[in-house]
């Protein structure tokens, strides 16, 4: 199983079919694969040997797709750089993975000099657009002045990508995913639920993120033309869904909110959309129900996973998105996909009794090869082939997995364990709550104390009193937040997750100022 196989198929089966659409640029299968062969030849000319890394620091476009496929075609390994990171963080990932070739677009060309200064590795820069960059190779010149390269056709166990995890705690780690990992994920996810078939798929999530990247393989497996847009703009996304008759999208919850809140939602023809896949962050159930009303013809598929699992571990299938808002399964992450075996274990690695909470560990063909150059962290995460996710969860008797918390986000208050997601689920049900996050903050008496940050809907006024009464009616007293802060904006990661460490830092800074 190798990731470039769909290109061979596309060119043979349907050379004039459309592979990619970016703005008004539509590339046929034949054109796209020819450019991949040439770009692969160009990369080889710049010294890319099989197994070596190539980075991309750019917004989404069909050129990003060319980079992905040409790197793999030449036998190389992807390092698609997180565009929201600082230059220092990016330089860390380039040095750590020994990425010597980096493609940049206009938006990031100005960062090149800083990166060169920060990096220990010598960087060969390929310039995608027009902004001049010193000693850079022009992307189109590279393609024009080279010979096509034959596909190296990698094995399933060969390394395909090093993806740096968000680094919410500690130094970022390079997750090593193989060709086999990523093909297995794409097959299993495509098999998991009805989808848009060969209708075009729209990339909304950034392609450097594992969720966006995984969609590339899914679309390719089912011959869906790949539609890209450089920035996430909900109005533009709605326009593209109508214009290209998009069959599938993958969104993080905050993107879905922007989509359903957009004024054009009522006037665009969105009937082509067959599947809306969402994940990477907990979904507010009220938002989900609104979206289900807005897109009645689309199946909603929740995906839960992590980069280390390439990435999907469980899915909540469309038929499990039931109308009853109190149905327990709607709070679950769904059931394990066909390739993921899941065990719930305690601190000593022993499997807990059915229904009990413990760490979620995963075994199967999508589990990463390991962390790049981090044998100790790899050994800690991968024990006997089981990926230790760091998330806490439990199974119900029907095999639905409930993710109760990131283990490290668990709040221990007065000896009682509080899983913040449980409190967040309660808070998010209260009318007027747009986003919320529950964290543990230091408390002299109880060790940690439950604290809630709340982003109200525009124009809504909320008080600690009403939220307190609401929570007390739903959950045990020790789980109810002891303090609230009302924010005008939540710190979000590139993947749309609330960055709790930033919330904690804000809280501590505010305390200090008060003292």
- Residues near its own copies, by CB under 8 A: 1, 5-6, 8-9, 12-17, 156, 184, 187-188, 190-191, 194, 197, 221-223, 317, 319, 335-336, 338-343, 354, 364-365, 395, 397-399
**Residue 112 or residue 313: which is nearer to its own copies going by CB?**
313
Q: Residue 184: which H helix or E strand, with range?
A: helix 179-192
Whether the CB-CB separation of 249 and 241 falls below 8 Å is answered with yes
**Pairwise CA distance, residues 208 & 84, whole Å:** 10
Q: Residue 19: which H helix or E strand, with range?
A: strand 18-22
**Residue 220 or residue 471: which is nearer to its own copies going by CB?**
220
**Residue 399 or residue 447: which is nearer to its own copies going by CB?**
399
Report the nearest approach of its own copies to the CB of residue 443 (Å).
38
**Residue 7 or residue 427: which is nearer to its own copies going by CB?**
7
Report the nearest approach of its own copies to the CB of residue 16 (Å).
7
**Residue 29 or residue 165: which is nearer to its own copies going by CB?**
29
Whether the CB-CB separation of 237 and 200 falls below 8 Å is answered with no
DSSP 46-113: TT--TT-EEEEE--SSHHHHHHHHHHHHTT-EEEE--TTS-HHHHHHHHHHHTEEEEEE-TTTGGGHH
Report the nearest approach of its own copies to the CB of residue 478 (Å).
31
Report the nearest approach of its own copies to the CB of residue 143 (Å).
25
Helix axes 420-428, 285-294, angle to 10 degrees: 50
**Residue 113 or residue 341: which is nearer to its own copies going by CB?**
341
The tokens of 287 are what?
């938002």
**Residue 196 or residue 282: which is nearer to its own copies going by CB?**
196
Report the nearest approach of its own copies to the CB of residue 326 (Å).
22
The tokens of 227 are what?
């539609």
Report the nearest approach of its own copies to the CB of residue 246 (Å).
17
Report the nearest approach of its own copies to the CB of residue 216 (Å).
14
**Pairwise CA distance, residues 430 & 468, whole Å:** 11
Report the nearest approach of its own copies to the CB of residue 463 (Å).
43
Q: Which of 204, 215, 213 is nearest to 254 (CA)?
A: 204
Report the nearest approach of its own copies to the CB of residue 393 (Å).
12
CB neighbours of 317 closer than 8 A, spacing ≥ 6? Answer: 192, 193, 299, 301, 334, 335
**Residue 181 or residue 420: which is nearer to its own copies going by CB?**
181
**Pairwise CA distance, residues 33 & 15, whole Å:** 9
The tokens of 250 are what?
């993958």
**Residue 13 or residue 140: which is nearer to its own copies going by CB?**
13
**Pairwise CA distance, residues 67 & 54, whole Å:** 9
DSSP 214-238: HHHHHHHHTT--EEE-SS--HHHHH
**Pairwise CA distance, residues 241 & 274, whole Å:** 11
User: 3-state DSSP call for residue 243?
Assistant: helix
């Amino acid at each position: 199983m190798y990731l470039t196989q769909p290109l061979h198929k596309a060119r043979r089966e349907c050379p004039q079919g459309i592979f990619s659409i970016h703005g008004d640029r539509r590339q046929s299968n034949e054109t796209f694969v020819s450019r991949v062969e040439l770009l692969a030849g160009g990369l080889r000319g710049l010294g890319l040997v099989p197994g070596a890394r190539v980075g991309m620091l750019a917004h989404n476009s069909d050129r990003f797709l060319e980079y992905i496929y040409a790197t793999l075609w030449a036998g190389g390994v992807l390092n698609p750089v997180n565009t929201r990171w600082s230059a220092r963080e990016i330089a860390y990932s380039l040095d750590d993975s020994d990425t010597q070739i980096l493609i940049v677009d206009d938006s990031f060309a100005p960062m090149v000099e800083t990166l060169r200064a920060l990096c220990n590795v010598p960087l060969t820069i390929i310039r995608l657009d027009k902004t001049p960059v010193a000693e850079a190779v022009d992307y189109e010149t590279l393609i024009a002045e080279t010979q096509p390269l034959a596909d190296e056709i990698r094995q399933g166990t060969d390394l395909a990508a090093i993806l740096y995890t968000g680094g919410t705690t500690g130094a970022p780690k390079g997750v090593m995913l193989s060709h086999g990992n990523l093909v297995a994920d794409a097959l299993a996810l495509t098999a998991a639920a009805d989808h848009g078939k060969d209708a075009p798929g729209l990339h909304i999530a950034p392609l450097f993120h594992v969720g966006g990247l995984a969609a590339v393989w899914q679309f390719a497996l089912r011959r869906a033309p790949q539609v890209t847009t450089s920035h996430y703009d909900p109005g533009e996304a709605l326009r593209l869904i109508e214009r290209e008759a998009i069959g599938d999208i993958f969104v993080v919850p905050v993107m879905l909110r922007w989509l359903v809140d957009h004024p054009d939602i009522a006037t665009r023809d969105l009937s082509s959309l067959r599947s809306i896949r969402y994940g990477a962050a907990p979904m507010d159930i009220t938002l989900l129900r609104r979206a289900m009303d807005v897109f009645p013809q689309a199946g909603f598929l929740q995906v839960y996973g992590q980069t280390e699992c390439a990435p999907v571990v469980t899915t909540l299938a469309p038929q499990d998105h039931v109308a009853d808002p109190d149905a327990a399964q709607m709070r679950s992450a769904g059931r394990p996909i066909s390739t993921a075996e899941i065990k719930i274990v305690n601190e000593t690695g022993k499997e807990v009794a059915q229904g009990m909470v413990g760490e979620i560990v995963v075994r199967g063909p999508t589990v990463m090869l390991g962390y790049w150059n981090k044998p100790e962290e790899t050994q800690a995460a991968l024990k006997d082939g089981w990926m230790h996710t760091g998330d806490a969860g439990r199974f119900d008797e029907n095999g639905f997995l409930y993710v109760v918390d990131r283990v490290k986000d668990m709040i221990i208050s007065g000896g009682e364990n509080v899983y913040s997601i449980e409190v967040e689920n309660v808070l998010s049900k209260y009318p007027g709550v747009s986003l919320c996050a529950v964290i543990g903050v230091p408390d002299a008496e109880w060790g940690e104390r439950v604290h809630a940050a709340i982003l109200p809907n525009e124009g809504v006024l909320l008080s600690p009193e009403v939220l307190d009464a609401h929570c007390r009616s739903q959950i045990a007293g020790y789980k109810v937040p002891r303090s609230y802060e009302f924010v005008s904006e939540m710190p979000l990661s590139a993947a749309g997750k609330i960055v709790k460490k930033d919330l904690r830092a804000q809280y501590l800074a505010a305390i200090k100022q008060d003292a």
